Amino acid sequence: MTPPVLEVRNLSKRFPVPGGVLTAVNDVSFSLAAGETLGLVGESGSGKSTLGRCVLRLIAPSAGRVVFDGHDITDWSEARCRKLRAGMQMVFQDPWSALNPRMTARSLIEELLALHTPLSSAERRAEAERLGLRVRLPSAMLDRYPGELSGGQQQRVCIARAIATRPKLIVLDEPTSSLDLSVRAGILDLLAELKEETGAAMLFITHDLGTLRLMADRVMVMYLGRVVEEAPAAEIFDRPAHPYTQALMSAHL
C-alpha cells in the first residue's frame, strides 16, 4: 500500500488572545491518500483555515504532527519548508490578494515554473500556454494583468499556478466563496476535472457542504476546532450522523 500523501496526527493550534488562549484547532487527526479529495466543512470560525495553514506549514502547530510525503515537517524551518512548496500548493479564497498586480497572467504562471522546475525559458513559455488553455484562459488573456481579469479568471490563474509544479497536495481554502454564483460552477467543474487528471490529493475547505458534492471522496466536519464527523461523501450526504452535520445539511435543502 502506498503511504498517505498527508498524515495529520493529534494536531492542535492555540492562539494567545486577550484574557487567555483560544484553541482554534483541537486534536485533529486524518490522512489523505494520493488522488483523494477530502472536503473540510464547517461554519466560519470553526478552525478550517488554521488547520489548512498548519498542514502547509505556513504556521507552526502548537501540538501534534504533520507528515507530508513521508517527511515529518512539523518542526522544519521556514527555509526547509519552502523547498517542499513545489509539492504542496494552495488556492485561496481571494485570488486578487494572491496575485502580484504588476505581473501578467503569463508571467505569474512562468514564475512558478522558474522557481520549481528545470525548464528553459522557451519551455516555460510553452508550458504556461498549455496550462492557460487547461484552465480555459486563452493566449490573449494570458497577456493581461490581474486587474484586467474578472474574479473568476483571476482564480483560474491561481489554479494554473497551483497545478504548474505537479504538486502531490493542493489545499483549496474556499476557492469559490468570493466568486459570483454564475462563475462558481465553472470553477468547480474545472477543479473536479483536474482532480482526476493531476492525481493530486486535495484538501478542499469550504463552509458550504453543497460545494463538495461534485468534488469530495470523504468529508470531515469541523465544529469549534474539533472534527465532529468524518465519513465517505456519499454517507455524509445520505446519512449525516452528527446533529451539527444534520443542521449543516438542512441549511442547504
SS (H, E, C) 62-108: CEEEEEECCEECCCCCHHHHHHHCCCEEEECCCHHHHCCCCCCHHHH
Nearer to Mg ion, 164 or 205 (CB): 205
Tell the smallest beta-carbon distance from residue 140 to ligand ADP (Å).
36
17 binds, among ligand ADP, Mg ion, none (CB under 5 to 8 A by kind): ligand ADP
- The yes or no reply on residue 183 touching ligand ADP (CB under 6 A) is no
Under rule CB under 6 A, residue 48 binds ligand ADP: yes
Does 45 interact with ligand ADP (rule: CB under 6 A)? Answer: yes
Residue choice 37, 49, 89, 154 for contact with ligand ADP (CB under 6 A) = 49
Smallest gap from residue 225 Cβ to ligand ADP (A):
7
Answer for which of 9, 22, 96, 249 binds ligand ADP (CB under 6 A) is 22
Radius of gyration of the chain (CA): 18
Residue at shortest CB range from Mg ion? 49
Instruction: Assess contact for 202 and 172: CB atoms under 8 A.
Output: yes
Residue whose C-alpha cell reads 508550458 in the numeric block: 127
Q: Does 12 bind ligand ADP (CB under 6 A)?
A: no
Residues listed for the chain: 253
21 binds ligand ADP (CB under 6 A): no
End-to-end CA distance of the chain: 39
What residue type is 20 in one-letter code? Answer: G
Residue among 110 and 173 whose Cβ is closer to ligand ADP = 173
Q: Which does 93 bind (CB under 5 to 8 A by kind): Mg ion, ligand ADP, none?
A: none
CB atoms closer than 10 angstroms to residue 216:
26
The interface with Mg ion within residues 29-58 (CB under 5 A) comprises: 49
Binding range to ligand ADP, per CB under 6 A, among 48-56, 69-77, 134-142, 151-159: 48-56
Task: Identify which of 201, 198, 232 has the alpha carbon closest to the alpha carbon of residue 217.
Answer: 232
Shortest reach from residue 40's CB to ligand ADP, in Å? 9
Any bridge partners for residue 39, and if so which? 204, 219
> Whole-angstrom Cα distance, residue 175 to residue 205?
8
Using alpha carbons, list the distances in angstroms from residue 201 to 89, 144, 194, 215: 10, 30, 11, 11
Return residues touching ligand ADP (CB under 6 A): 15, 17, 22, 24, 42, 44-50
The residues binding Mg ion (CB under 5 A) are: 49
